[in-house]
Amino acid sequence: MTPRVDPGEAGFHAGRLARVDAFVESEVAAGRLPGAVLGVVRGGALVRLDAFGMRDPQAGAPMTTDTLFWLASMTKPVTAAGALLLVESGELVLEEAVGDYLPGFRDRRVADPESLRERPAARQPTVLDLMRHTAGIPEGLLGRTALHARYAEAVGDGMTGLDGPEFVARLAAFPLLADPGTLWHYGFGFDLLGQIVESLTSDTLGAFLARRLFAPLGMTDTRFVGGSGADPGRLAVPLTRDPLAGHPLTGESQQLPDLARARFDSGGAGLVGTAGDYLAFLRMLLAKGAGPTGDADRVLGRKTVELMLADALEPGTDTRLLERPGWNPGHGFGLGVAVRRAAGGGATTPGSAGEVTWPGSSGTFWWADPAEDLGVVFLTHTPSRLQLRYWQQMKSLVLQALK
């Protein structure tokens, strides 16, 4: 990571940016937040990388900037970037059918979600559909239809003891929820994308990303969970009880999944990493693929990154499940990232058109704003609905400090 610059040099009012510290420290003191790490880059320079509170409140271990967090769905943009490396080498074609790479997904059919009556799909799901959540392959826990229940029974939330081929076979056994390209629905597309990467490289997804993405960017602490990958001595620990006063979940226990159960590198939710590492990834996106020293160690091509960060949804795509109240009204979806369409448009936080993000269910959060050349990472383990409030509050706190 580059040396830190003074906030004023990076276009921030230092006093206004200090409001972030006061807010986070008050949340820790009130027992609502165990601890967190905040990282900010602007113009390619490091503005903030600071730890707050406790890494493990029960053990009394303080938070440090090299603390590991389960990145959960923040894995998806990283997997997307890895797949685009193969697009750039001609090994992967976004328009080709998933079944061309994973034979079990040939000849997909669509089922009525309640009657389960099947019909031929209008077209086959493509690699692009996997990357923008329009393949018709849902996460079963995010719906209450009979078809959702079948997916849920087969793979749950995806954190299973299945190996990669077993996971693929489970998903391939069920029909699609909708014709590809017509409905945005969060699902397991990036787990399948990771398996496609493995089939093309004859390597694990983790080994491929380590060689082609993590090493060039200096992301030395980013790895897939499973076995000792989570490094319990460095992993942040959530509070034992949900602290959100007045919420139905109040008082219920909260904990991370058993990360050691993972038997394959989940391209959708399998990474653990640090704030500093993820900032390096954001710097690459904001630099349109350039590496830490610029073009000399470029990771992705400029036009490839522009494609990744652009809204990839076709006109008429049903986005009701994407543009839900809270953090993402007025968003489309690119390749692994939600894309803000306008400064307003029903948005509940300040921001710019073209801003991209995708958080993790563990409480981890980030956004990158190409118009402001700004990247922010806020990592904490708050696996409750309290995290939705923090996503909005942190955005407001950081952006109000811009000159």
Residues marked as catalytic: 73
Of 4, 24, 6, nearest in space to 15 by CA: 6
**3-class state of residue 177 by DSSP:** coil
Q: How many CB atoms lie within 10 A of CB 41?
A: 25
Residue with tokens 């448009």: 345
Burial class for 10, CB neighbours closer than 10 Å (0-12, 13-18, 19+): buried
What is the C-alpha separation between 233 and 223, in angstroms, rounded? 15
Helices of type H across 220-365: 275-286, 302-308
What is the C-alpha separation between 225 and 166, in angstroms, rounded? 18
What angle, rounded to 10 degrees, do the helices at 14-29 and 386-399 form? 160
Q: Are strands 45-56 and 35-42 parallel, antiparallel or unpaired?
A: antiparallel
Give yes or no for a contact between 159 and 167, defined as CB atoms under 8 angstroms apart. Answer: no
Please compute, for residue 162, the number of CA atoms within 13 A of its CA located in the half-sphere on the CB side: 17
